[in-house]
C-alpha cells in the first residue's frame, strides 16, 4: 500500500498531476490524499481593525474549499474505476509548506505528486513557488508534473548527476522501485565541460551508483556541454526519456536544471515529469 499526497489548487495543472499519478500507479494499491491548503490571509481594514475574527474567516474559507473538493471528488468519480485506488479529500487553512509537512508525517506519505505550476503561475517561471518549496524544504519524494505532460509508461528515466556527491543509497529506493515497476531503462547522465575528466572521487561515486543499479537495465552517458539545461534538452530529445530523476541533496545542480529561467526554449520544463528524491 502506498500513501500518495496530491496537493491541489484546483488548477488544470493540478488535475493533470492527479491523472498522471493514477495512471503511473495503476497496478499499485494506493490511497490518494487530495489535499487543499488555503493560505492564511490578513483580513484588515485601513486602520488595522479586523472586519471579521480570524476564526470566522477560517471557517468561511474552509467551507468554500470543502465545497470545491466535493466537486473535485465527483470529477474523480468520472475516471475509470480502479479497485486498487482509494481517494480521501481534505482541506486545511495555514502556511502551505508547514501544513504539507504535517500531513506527510500524520498520513505516513510515501510520495507527493503535484503540478509544477499552479492556477496563478507565470509563463516565464518553470516551477511555481509552492512546488519549489516542497522540492527544496520537504524531505519526502516529490513527483512534479509539468503542465503539458501526457502520461506514457516511462520507458526511459534520465538521472542527471555530476558524481560529486556520495548519496545515501537508500534515497534511491523509490527510483529503483519505479524502474522495476515499469520495466524501465535508467540512463545515468553526466554532463561535462569539453575535455573535462572525472576525478578519483567522481569515479568512486559513479562506481557506487553502478553497483546499486546493477540488477536493473541501465546505461551511463557523458554529454559535453557548457549549459546544463541545453545538454539535458538535447539528451531528452534524442531518446525516449519520459521522466527525469534527481536527488535534492545537490541543491545547486537541482536549481540549475529546474529553477533557472531560460531565454532558450527548454521544452522538458513543460513536458517531462521530475522525480525529486531526498535523503532523510
Domain residue ranges of the chain, discontinuous segments joined by + = 2-145, 156-277
Does the structure show a pLDDT above 80 at 119?
no
Region 9-24: what's the mean pLDDT?
Answer: 96
In tens, the pLDDT along 210-229 reads 999 999 999 999 888 767 88
- DSSP-derived 3-state class of residue 179: helix
- DSSP-derived 3-state class of residue 214: coil
Q: Are 271 and 146 contacting, i.e. CB atoms less than 8 angstroms apart?
A: yes
Distance CA 38, CA 36 (A): 6
Matching CATH number, 156-277, of 3.10.450.40, 3.40.50.620, 1.10.3470.10, 3.40.190.10: 3.40.50.620
Superfamily for domain range 2-145: HUPs (3.40.50.620)
Does the structure show a pLDDT above 80 at 43?
no
Q: Are 59 and 93 contacting, i.e. CB atoms less than 8 angstroms apart?
A: no
* pTM for this predicted structure: 0.89
Q: Are 277 and 157 contacting, i.e. CB atoms less than 8 angstroms apart?
A: no
Region 20-28: what's the mean pLDDT?
Answer: 97
What pLDDT score was predicted for residue 208? Answer: 93
Identical fold for domains 2-145 and 156-277, yes or no, is yes
Does the structure show a pLDDT above 90 at 23?
yes
Q: Which residues of 48-74 are buried (b: 16+ CB within 10 A; e: fewer)?
A: eeeeeeeeebbeebeeebeebbeebee
What pLDDT score was predicted for residue 270? Answer: 80
Does the structure show a pLDDT above 60 at 125?
no
User: Could you tell me which residues are beta bridge partners of residue 149?
Assistant: none
CA angle 225, 269, 271 (to 5 degrees): 120
Amino acid at each position: 500500500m502506498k500513501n500518495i499526497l496530491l496537493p491541489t489548487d484546483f488548477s488544470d495543472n493540478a488535475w493533470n498531476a492527479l491523472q498522471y499519478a493514477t495512471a503511473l500507479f495503476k497496478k499499485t494499491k494506493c490511497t490518494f490524499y487530495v489535499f487543499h491548503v488555503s493560505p492564511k490571509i490578513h483580513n484588515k481594514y485601513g486602520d488595522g481593525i479586523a472586519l471579521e475574527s480570524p476564526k470566522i474567516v477560517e471557517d468561511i474559507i474552509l467551507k468554500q474549499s470543502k465545497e470545491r473538493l466535493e466537486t473535485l471528488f465527483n470529477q474523480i468519480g468520472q475516471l475509470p474505476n480502479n479497485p486498487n485506488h482509494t481517494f480521501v479529500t481534505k482541506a486545511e487553512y495555514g502556511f502551505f509548506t508547514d501544513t504539507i509537512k504535517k500531513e506527510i508525517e500524520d498520513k505516513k506519505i510515501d510520495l507527493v505528486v503535484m503540478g509544477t505550476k499552479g492556477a496563478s503561475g507565470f509563463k516565464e517561471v518553470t516551477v511555481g513557488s509552492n512546488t519549489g518549496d516542497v522540492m527544496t524544504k520537504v524531505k519526502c519524494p516529490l513527483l512534479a508534473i509539468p503542465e503539458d505532460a501526457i502520461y506514457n509508461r516511462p520507458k526511459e528515466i534520465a538521472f542527471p548527476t555530476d558524481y560529486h556527491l556520495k548519496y545515501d543509497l537508500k534515497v534511491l529506493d523509490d527510483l529503483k522501485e519505479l524502474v522495476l515497476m515499469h520495466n524501465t531503462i535508467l540512463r545515468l547522465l553526466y554532463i561535462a565541460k569539453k575535455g573535462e575528466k572525472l576525478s578519483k572521487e567522481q569515479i568512486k561515486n559513479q562506481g557506487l551508483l553502478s553497483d546499486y543499479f546493477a540488477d536493473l537495465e541501465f546505461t551511463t552517458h557523458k554529454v559535453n556541454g557548457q549549459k546544463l539545461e541545453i545538454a539535458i534538452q538535447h539528451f531528452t530529445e534524442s531518446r525516449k526519456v519520459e521522466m527525469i530523476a534527481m536527488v535534492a541533496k545537490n541543491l545547486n545542480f537541482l536549481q540549475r536544471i529546474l529553477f533557472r529561467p531560460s531565454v532558450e526554449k527548454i521544452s522538458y520544463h513543460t513536458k517531462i515529469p521530475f522525480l525529486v528524491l531526498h535523503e532523510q
